[in-house]
Amino acid sequence: AQSVTQLGSHVSVSEGALVLLRCNYSSSVPPYLFWYVQYPNQGLQLLLKYTSAATLVKGINGFEAEFKKSETSFHLTKPSAHMSDAAEYFCAVSGNNDYKLSFGAGTTVTVRA
Amino acid sequence: EPEVTQTPSHQVTQMGQEVILRCVPISNHLYFYWYRQILGQKVEFLVSFYNNEISEKSEIFDDQFSVERPDGSNFTLKIRSTKLEDSAMYFCASSEAAVINTGELFFGEGSRLTVL
């Protein structure tokens, strides 16, 4: 079975500061890992995904994530936060190369001016 | 840009009533899914659907739940007799391919179900 744990249900950053959202996974098989974002009143949108190619994955809106097998982590970062980054972020995992995803509990990001 | 649309955005119902949540997936997609999120909890997989049949379902998806693609565009989730614990946000999703390496999963905005 696969699962992810997101550390921190709420992160507050200043505009221009680093955004770091933590995700650790557990998987009995090589995992496929995702980050989704949900803006208010919108659906879940894919930010980026890891599918066993490059360990550093670049996504939309300046986000990137690094797969670290030794740490079982897939943390999401953005060097400089923008007000428009305020949203809820979900880490997810699949172990079967399909879309039966196991999601984390989500991290809400607020950006201070 | 193509999108998955869901209706209604919010439904309030009495316990024991039947509810149908509707979804219009992206038109050329072949794989359809329902997920749900109980307030404050994780987004959970309910069911996947392909070629007019369920391809996989979770333990949450019991006999009270059913899915259907009644025509060429809609994909519905029916809850036969709602319980209080069915209160949640229900997300429809669709994909062009079944496998992660060759596609992306697109989600709708969700339908919030409140059971009183």
Contact yes or no for B104 and A97 at CB 8 A: no
Q: What is the pLDDT of residue A98?
A: 83
**Chain A residues interacting with chain B (CB cutoff of 8 angstroms):** 32, 36, 41-46, 49, 51, 90, 92, 94, 97-106
pLDDT tens readout for residues B36-50: 999 888 899 999 999
pLDDT tens readout for residues B48-103: 999 999 999 999 999 999 999 988 789 999 999 999 999 999 999 999 988 877 77
Q: Which residues contact B19 (CB under 8 A, 6 or more apart)?
A: B11, B13, B78, B79, B82, B86, B113
- What are the structure tokens assigned to A18, written together? 């680093």
Contact yes or no for A45 and B107 at CB 8 A: yes
Low-confidence ranges of chain A (pLDDT < 50): none
Q: What is the pLDDT of residue B103?
A: 77
- What are the structure tokens assigned to B51, written together? 């070629």
CA–CA separation, B21 and B78 (whole Å)? 6
pLDDT tens readout for residues B8-39: 999 999 999 999 999 999 999 999 999 999 98
Contact yes or no for A46 and B105 at CB 8 A: yes
Q: Which residues contact A113 (CB under 8 A, 6 or more apart)?
A: A14, A15, A83
